[in-house]
Structure 1
Amino acid sequence: MSVDVSKNPPKTYSQEEAFNAALKYFKNDDLAARVWLNKYALKDSEGNIYELTPNDMHRRIAKEIARVELKYTNPLSEDDIFDLIKDFKYIVPQGSPMAGIGNPYQIASLSNCFVIGNSGESDSYGGVMKIDQEQVQLMKRRGGVGHDLSHIRPKGSAVKNSALTSTGVVPFMERYSNSTREVAQDGRRGALMLSVSINHPDSEDFINAKLEQGKVTGANVSVRIDDGFMKAVKNNTDYVQKYPIFSQNPKVSKTIDANSLWKKIVHNAWKSAEPGILFWDTIINESVPDCYSDLGYKTVSTNPCGEIPLCPYDSCRLLAINLFSYVEKPFTKEASFNFSLFKKHVAAAQRIMDDIIDLELEKIDKILSKIDADPEMDDVKAIERNLWVNIQKKAGEGRRTGVGITAEGDMLAALGIQYGSESGNAFSLKVHKTIAIEAYRGSVHLAKERGAFGIFDAEREKNNPFIQRLKEADSKLYYEMLEYGRRNIALLTIAPTGTTSLMTQTTSGIEPVFMPVYKRRRKVNPNDKEVNVDFVDEVGDSWEEYVVFHHKFKLWMEVNGIDSSKNFTQGEIDDLIQKSPYHKATSNDVDWLSKVSMQGAIQKWVDHSISVTINLPNDVSEDLVGDLYLKAWEVGCKGVTVYRDGSRSGVLISNDEKKEDKAKDLLTTFPEKRPQSLEADVVRFQNNKEKWIAFIGLIDENPYEVFTGLADDEDGILIPRWVNKGVIIKNRNEDGSSRYDFQYKNTRGYKTTIEGLSHKFNPEFWNYAKLISSTLRHGMPIDKIVNLINSLQLDSESINTWKNGVVRALKRYVADGTQAKGHHCDNCKSENLIYQEGCLTCKDCGSSKCG
């Protein structure tokens, strides 16, 4: 059902009205207010805002869920549902459900994540392109996507087309990655997970693909690792890779040293936080849906954050239960966890999730109606239409849900229990076991009222380890399930809760607090009264530093009579943290092996998977990363990701000294004399109505010089469009004067030389390119060069267009996480912008802009 807004236009609010109301709602939490307003407040495509505070949103969601409830016996009322979800206190629909339920202005899915893929082992080019189109169609409807590449034949395999041999997995990684970067989702990029089996002969190429700068920047990558490989690593023996993977009669077979490949995985993860690892045999053996694999529920990959393993065309919707809200008298000696209320709410959360599936099926009907009404020819629309028909079938038949949690770290602190301690792990395990039992009980009761999911078969599931644990923990529940079935094929997950935790004002997901106290800066006018200037940046802007307390840390202070408005010294802050229940319980404090053990224990009670990161200091060894991965496999984790501090740019850092070190690291030292030949990247752009090409000469992957020229006329630089990297720029003159030749590899692998190209560079642009090249060669940071080029006041329209093209080319090389000075966010007007994969990304509201 949708609202006819044309007959009764609802009230609208200005950006300022809504922001001020949201700011009051969140008790002056600027970031939470902006996130809600920009991502979840109801608005149309023209930017009209229809909700003043989050409780307007909660009422919208409650109204729609209550409408679904009326289809069934013993319906919950709108007020019942509203009381459960209001103020983000107990139950929080995450992401797509929050934005999309009851939204008449957007034809989008309510699912957070999908997995797609071809049936069987097909790796035809048509199949590859079909997946590419399906991925894009899903991302435009707001979903994150995962797919596995293990079906693609390895590099060098024979194919029956003009290429004669296969290019292997990596080019298709780039294709899918680039498609992701092209799709905008309400100010954010699409999310993609690419996986491959370690048994695939190209798995090492897959593992290395992201190490090359600019490669596969639009995807997360994870390796599916089987028990046989892990045993080979542990026993230091060989391992046989095959294509098709695990085939009894492989077309390709390759014996490798398991430890050599393992060390490569560990090294790359230590260096760049990827690839992630999926322990595939554990996933499959524990998976309840895989009891129905012959009916289309064979798990093939995961969603982008790895917490939902899925079969092709299945999807999942996410919901988080705020664990902190069940702690009574938090941060006192009388603190306790209300398990009685918690159990009731877990059952309610499962019921609401099942209602959301019905709402999703309605959304898919609207998507299909829109596709049918679109003017394109039927054969053009066929892939998109079939995609949604397949998704609708899986969602209606399996009715998969994703009930999870947030605020684990705050829950433990509020109870006075140290995160990562033996008692902390034991209490967390008790909470998650309770969730599993009560969610499954809720699903059985729903089956009694509404019917079981379409293919439920107790006989198929009877030997599943997860079902066996439920039977042992609660035999009454198990035998009720035999009698009535279960409403949902799988129920539970622990997802990252980024923006959700900002609005619940708690720690994120299962993670500990990142920092209980940290500093922020705001730009100030030094001439204003009562302004403290704590920092002046390199362009002369003045900044005031202020202390920010984690919300629940601030509550601890208030409970203990500590005035949080006081201006604390760093020493006083350190003393406060030491006295608090967050002491030795931050993401950098928690014992790593303890966290892995905790994840493995909790995983036994989560039928999908867990998104969790092991945070490590910068100076840890690669061997430690390997030991943690091995431990994760041994204790039963389904997946694991490590992040070593500083191994990936663009991540929060804990103090200003590190920021200064990073800025120094951006300075690049080049040889005094230009080498005779340089490898270059190729970037194409539009200069007015003309097609242009830029060559970015590189030394140690850092830009050293720029050449630009026409790419589309008789006098242009004719290099095929498939040439993007590896061009060689040679200076033919030993005396250093300019006489450049360009070489590139043709389709047969030979070098093709285009001689004496210097005359083809327009003199009007040549001098500007020389100026830019000079600044590059003297080690000026790329972001500063970008700002310099942008600041040039040029009268010629063509020069300005050329300037914009060169800026776009160079921005690809700005280190992720670099602060963008002199810019503000078009969305929320914040000046807190960073470069992320060549695009300006707002750290306050998350919107991203390229160009």
Structure 2
Amino acid sequence: MKQSKKTNSKQVSYTSEQAIEASTVYFNGDALAASVFVNKYALKNSQGDIFEDTPDKMHRRIAKEIARIEKKYSNSLSENDIYDLIDKFRYLIPQGSPMTGIGNPYQIASLSNCFVIGNNGESDSYGGIMKIDQEQVQLMKRRGGVGHDLSHIRPKGAEVKNSALTSTGLVPFMQRYSNSTREVAQDGRRGALMLSVSVNHPDSEDFIDAKLQAGQITGANVSLRIDDSFMKAVRDKQQYTQKYPIFSSKPLFSKQIQANDLWGKIVHNAWKSAEPGILFWDTIINESIPDCYADLGYKTISTNPCGEIPLCAYDSCRLLAINLFSYVVNPFTSNAYFDFDLFKKHVELAQRLMDDIIDLELEKIEIILDKINQDPEDDSVKKIEKELWIQIYNKAKQGRRTGLGITAEGDMLAALGIQYGSSQGIDFCVEVHKTLALSAYRSSVELAKQRGAFTIYDSDREKNNPFILRIKQADAQLYKDMIENGRRNIALLTIAPTGSTSLMSQTTSGIEPVFMPVYKRRRKVNPNDKQATVDFVDEIGDSWQEYIVFHHRFKQWMQINGYDTQKNYTQEQINQLISVSPYAKACSNDIDWLSKVEMQGAIQKWVDHSISVTINIPNHATEQLVDQLYMRAWEVGCKGVTVYRDGSRSGVLISTESKDSSKESGQLSFSTKRPQVLECDIVRFQNNKEKWIAFIGKIDNRPYEIFTGLADDEDGILLPRGINEGFIIKNKDEQGNSRYDFQFTNKRGYKTTIEGLSYRFNPEYWNYAKLISSTLRHGMKIEKVVELINSLQLDSESINTWKNGVSRALKKFVPDGTHVKGQQCDNCGSTSLVYQEGCLICKDCGLSKCS
């Protein structure tokens, strides 16, 4: 341990190694959970000093801050009361932004996980479009995921009153918003964006086709807002009228289409590439309690990036999950039962904590606004950012929206001996979520008595809302109390993905089943080490030891039922173990897909926001199955659904040119003669503490050559931070030798040229860059080039650092969904790894790894 020089002298800081070692002990040897905590959630400053070596310190930090808010109100909870609820991720788990940001003096960031912004369909001017672009970036830099809708933008070919004469349509603006997201994702920040559009928009087909183009719209998820009239037209094989403005009684433009033709395109694209996702918009709006106040600014217009929170413009939400597994008493025994009494008590407390977190968020926004006011920029520059946060502050204060949800649904059922996806399993889950909804609403009503209702509460507005009517039928007294006292929060519930937090709670994620209860993991070993056991040698000669990993709760089942968890089991013995366990026929690949849709629809009745869930289907699944799943999801009342077919994103490439064998295999045949001018992308990255830069020349948006080296060295490239693209121009120097210049347009609109990229980088880097550029020019797949770079055996430590940076730069051009061969997920052992925005993503457990 060391004393931090940057903070109070009493505050102890830790190295990353110290924190991971201490956290590994905390997690009983689970190094992955320890790494997730230290890298994502432990308190740290910008110098890299870490002030929490275990989650216990984080939980104390959070409990202290929430207790401070509690003191403002009557019957306040103590710090210890709150700590006991969140300790060891056992009961209540603040998600993401709240876990990182509560009590964090080192980051000026929001506590909200989700935001939606937009013009409410009022403006599709360039000014309005650019305003949304800036707002999106301002939110992402404060750690928020953002969604917005494009239905207000006029369709391609429509008349405009400027020099262009006609509109370019949706797709160019999708690209703009996507590129902005990718820019914010640099230097450790991760942008997340949802773009949506109504199926009633005449450009909706272009919208759903846009992401099939390799390398396009890589910074956004896309979802189609589908109305009931379209679904009925599909079902009845009828025509459907698209309009602009959408659903207008006096449209400026309209056209009739065969609903089944567009539906076939939607299904095909989802089967082909896992997008678009579907939002059943009429279900969302009809069920939405905030839309009872649409005329007061609460009209829902889009969702957050994962789709679990439909929101109005400039509203936001914070998330907290309840660990369902912890309410199973005597788990994995014949005496197991779910403690509904404790569960109801904790749900009511969880909703109370969620309301406290809103107060903490309001404080955070005040700090953000103070920071904006102190910034040296002119007020005209700061205007949009300042007005953005004022609107978000007002929405949070007025509506006090919360996002209370769950995790560990799969483990809960297994612990009770109930099969996931069975009719018994669905019925029990519905009972749990009904209990959660009623308890949370009861808590919000009680908070309204103590603290006051959200300011625009009006029982008459809500009296015909289907969700409110279900509460009335299930608990007449609760409904009566709500009418009399109001409710503290405009909407309360959601089910979000809980990937990294479920790793720390060591449970299944969200409402998902377990991926695999037992799997193999590999650890790289030195074959010359006398203690090494080599079980596998990969294609580049690295040696690996294989070992069995048990899902934490499956291991608990084994221990409770007398099975040896230290034994070296054969695969046959593992299969036998699984077959007699409560996880039998209840893993990701075992669940009947339609049953999962039925389960989502049934649970949705008791979730006032929405549910983030993906239906995973095998590679051989047909488009007809996707059609059936989407149609059934609408019929049973799901608010949204995404279908992912195994391997569906690999090698997706649409070309207007005639197909040949090389393009169908993902191989490009570049011309042997280099064009004089190439489009160029700038990719900045950091190796250790050194700043590096890569210039990537492109043909047809595919890398053709690469130059890279130190960014700010005396002998390197010094380039303004805002420059992310330009041109590489091949010229001749005074001696007649080839020279590569970089040309870009500066912020004032003037062209600037940096001469001789080849002269500005270390010659050793340059020689390797020529080798890599040669492979790119011969059309080798990008993922194969990355594999080649990673396999280079280099003696120089600096060259290895350079190698990692080049690999990282090129990964950004690997088509999303491309399968990664020869690697296993560090978490679940699955070989279903794909590239997504340059990162490795496990399709089975959701682990993300960016190198």
Task: Verify same fold: TM over 0.5.
Answer: yes
- Partner AA of 1:839 in structure 2: G
Q: Which of 678, 682, 687 is the equivalent residue of 2:679?
A: 682
RMSD: 3.8
Secondary structure at the aligned position of 1:567 is classed as coil
Aligned pair in 2 of structure 1 residues 834, 271: CA closer, same or farther (>3 Å)? closer
Q: What secondary structure does 1:615 align onto?
A: strand
Structure 2 residue 334 is matched with structure 1 residue 333? yes
Matched, 1:485 2:486: yes
Instruction: Give the structure 2 partner of residue 539 of structure 1.
Output: 540
Question: What letter matches 2:785 in structure 1?
Answer: I
Q: Secondary structure at the match of 1:189?
A: coil
Partner of 1:282: 283
SS of residue matched to 2:633: helix
Secondary structure of the 2:376 match is coil
Matches of residues 282-321 of structure 1 in structure 2 within 5 Å?
Answer: 282-321=283-322
Aligned residues of 2:270 and 2:643 also touching (Cα < 8 A): yes
Distance 1:221 1:481, change over 3 A: same
Change (3 A) 1:722 1:234: farther
CA 1:668/1:616 → structure 2, altered by over 3 Å: closer, same or farther? Answer: closer
How far 1:185 sits from its partner (Å)? 7.6
CA distance in 2, matches of 1:412, 1:808: 43
Give the structure 2 partner of residue 56 of structure 1: 57
Identity %: 66
Q: 1:69 and 1:627, CA in 2 relative to 1: closer, same or farther beyond 3 A? A: same
Paired with 2:499 and 2:768, the residues of 1 have a C-alpha distance of 43
Name the CA distance, whole Å, in 2 between partners of 1:343 and 1:804: 51
Q: Secondary structure at the match of 2:13?
A: coil
Q: How far off its partner does 1:189 sit?
A: 1.8
Partner of residue 179, structure 1: 180
Match of 1:785 in 2: 785
Measured after TM superposition, the shift of residue 692 of structure 1 is: 11
Q: What is the rounded CA distance, in whole Å, between the counterparts of 1:572 and 1:361 in structure 2?
A: 55
**2: distance between equivalents of 1:815 and 1:632?**
26
Amino acid at match of 2:226: I
**Deviation of the 1:272 alpha carbon:** 1.0
Contact 1:683–1:809 under 8 Å retained in 2: no
Counterpart CA distance in 1 for 2:437 and 2:301 is 24
8 Å contact kept, 1:452–1:485: yes
- Change in 2 beyond 3 A, CA 1:585/1:60: same
Q: Residue 665 of structure 1: CA displacement?
A: 13
Q: Which moved more, 1:465-474 or 1:10-19?
A: 10-19
Between the aligned partners of 1:389 and 1:58, the Cα distance in structure 2 is 30
Equivalence for 1:626: 627
Paired residues of 1:12 and 1:48 also in contact (CA < 8 A):
yes
The TM-score, its normalising length taken from structure 1, stands at 0.84
Alignment of 1:38-77 (within 5 A): 38-77=39-78
Provide the residue aligned with 2:449 in structure 1.
Answer: 448
Aligned residues: 775
Cα distance between partner residues in 1 of 2:832 and 2:572: 30
Aligned residue for 1:91? 92
One-letter amino acid of the counterpart of residue 549, structure 2: V
C-alpha distance in structure 1 between counterparts of 2:804 and 2:448, whole Å: 63
1:215 aligns with 2:216: yes
Deviates more, 1:282-291 or 1:779-788: 779-788
Contact 1:155 1:168 in 2 (8 A): yes
Question: Paired residue for 1:498?
Answer: 499
Match of residue 354 from structure 1: 355
CA contact (8 A) 1:187 1:846 kept: no
Task: Return closer, same or farther for 1:167/1:435 CA change in 2, 3 Å cut-off.
Answer: same
Distance change in 2, residues 1:612/1:842 (3 Å): closer
1:839 aligns with 2:834: no
Deviation (angstroms), 1:274: 0.7
Residue of structure 2 in register with 1:133 after alignment: 134
Distance 1:194 1:838, change over 3 A: closer
Q: Determine the C-alpha separation between the residues in 2 that align with 1:708 and 1:16.
A: 34
Aligned counterparts of 1:59 and 1:235: Cα–Cα separation in 2: 58
- Residue 553 of structure 1 aligns to a residue whose secondary structure is helix
Q: Shift in Å at residue 279 of structure 1? A: 0.3
For 1:31 and 1:803, how far apart are their aligned partners in 2?
A: 22
Which runs of structure 2 are paired with 1:390-401 in the superposition (5 Å)? 390-401=391-402
Separation (CA, whole Å) in 1 of partners of 2:804 and 2:356: 53
Q: Partner of 1:300: helix, strand, or coil?
A: strand
Rounded to whole Å, the distance in 2 between the matches of 1:815 and 1:67 is 45
The 5 A counterparts of 1:661-672 are none
C-alpha distance 804-573 of structure 1, shift in aligned 2 (>3 A): closer
Q: Does the Cα contact within 8 Å between 2:114 and 2:145 map onto a contact in 1? A: yes
- Rounded to whole Å, the distance in 2 between the matches of 1:722 and 1:5 is 33
Residue in 2 that maps onto 1:714:
none
CA distance in 1, matches of 2:221, 2:353: 30
> Take 1:612 and 1:85, find their aligned partners in 2: how far apart are those partners?
25
| C-alpha separation in 1, matches of 2:207 and 2:435 | 39
Partner of 1:555: 556
Q: How far apart are residue 187 of structure 1 and its match?
A: 3.0
The answer as to 2:469 corresponding to 1:463 is: no
Provide structure 1 residue ranges, at least 5 long, that are not aligned to the other structure: 651-663, 710-720, 728-759
Amino acid at match of 1:100: G
**How far, CA to CA, are the matches of 1:80 and 1:767 in structure 2?**
63
Distance in 1 between residues matched to 2:419 and 2:41, nearest whole Å? 34
Measured at CA, do residues 706 and 363 of structure 1 come closer, stay the same or move farther in structure 2, by a change above 3 Å?
closer
- Give the drift of 1:419: 0.2
Q: Does 1:571 align with 2:568?
A: no
Provide, for residues 238-258 of structure 1, a one-character-per-residue CA deviation record: whole Å limited to 9, x for no partner: 100000000011011011111
How far is the alpha carbon of 1:536 from its aligned partner? 1.1
Q: Do 1:286 and 1:466's aligned partners in 2 also have CA atoms closer than 8 Å? A: yes
Q: 2: distance between equivalents of 1:792 and 1:575? A: 43
Matches of 2:615 and 2:804 in 1, distance apart?
A: 43
Matched, 1:243 2:244: yes
Residues 674, 358 of structure 1: CA spacing in aligned structure 2 closer, same or farther, 3 A cutoff? closer
8 Å CA contact retained: 2:500, 2:847: no
Find the aligned partners of 1:794 and 1:15 in 2 and give their Cα distance: 26
Q: Tell me the distance in 1 between the aligned counterparts of 2:628 and 2:815.
A: 34
CA distance in 2, matches of 1:722, 1:499: 31
Native 8 Å contact 1:515 1:586 kept in 2:
yes
The answer (yes or no) to whether the contact 1:121–1:244 under 8 Å persists in 2 is no
Q: CA deviation at 1:588?
A: 1.4
Contact 2:683 2:724 in 1 (8 A): no
Q: Does the 8 Å CA contact 1:140/1:183 hold for their aligned counterparts?
A: yes
CA distance in 1 between partners of 2:588 and 2:357 (Å): 33
Cα distance change on mapping 1:146 and 1:818 into 2, 3 Å: same
Q: 1:817/1:532 Cα in 2 relative to 1: closer, same or farther (>3 Å)?
A: farther
Distance 1:538 1:453, change over 3 A: same
| 1:14 CA displacement | 2.3
Tell me how far apart the structure 1 counterparts of residues 12 and 472 of structure 2 sit (CA, whole Å): 53
Equivalent residue, structure 2, for 1:417: 418
User: Residues of 2 paired with 1:362 and 1:279: CA distance?
Assistant: 35
* Conservation of the 8 A alpha-carbon contact between 1:697 and 1:706: no
Q: For the Cα contact (< 8 Å) 1:277–1:639, is it kept in 2?
A: yes
> Are 2:647 and 2:819, in contact at CA under 8 Å, matched by a contact in 1?
no
Q: Secondary structure at the match of 1:114?
A: strand
With over 3 angstroms needed to count, the CA separation of the structure-2 counterparts of 1:24 and 1:144, relative to structure 1, is: same
Q: CA 1:777 to 1:64, structure 2 compared with 1: closer, same or farther past 3 Å?
A: closer
Query: Secondary structure of 2:320's match?
Result: strand
The aligned counterpart of 1:730 is none
User: Residues 674 and 54 from structure 1, CA distance in 2 versus in 1: closer, same or farther, beyond 3 angstroms?
Assistant: closer
Deviations 1:699-750 (A, max 9, x none): xx977x65999xxxxxxxxxxx99999x9xxxxxxxxxxxxxxxxxxxxxxx
Cα deviation digits, residues 396-452 of structure 1 (max 9, x gap): 000000000000000000000000000000000000000010000000000001000
Q: Is the 8 A contact 1:187 1:848 kept in 2?
A: no
- Residue 821 of structure 1 and its aligned partner are, at CA, apart by 10
TM-score when scaled to structure 2? Answer: 0.84
| Change in 2 beyond 3 A, CA 1:779/1:365 | closer
1:256 alignment counterpart: 257
Deviation (angstroms), 1:625: 0.5
Match in the other structure for 2:658: none
- Residues 309-333 of structure 1: CA deviation (Å, up to 9, x unaligned): 0000000000000000000000000
Q: 1:789 and 1:56 mapped to 2: Cα distance?
A: 41
Distance 1:448 1:541, change over 3 A: same
Q: Which amino acid aligns with 1:683?
A: C
* Structure 1 residues 813 and 221: CA distance shift in structure 2, 3 A: same
For residues 376 and 584 of structure 1, the distance between their equivalents in structure 2, rounded to whole angstroms, comes to 60
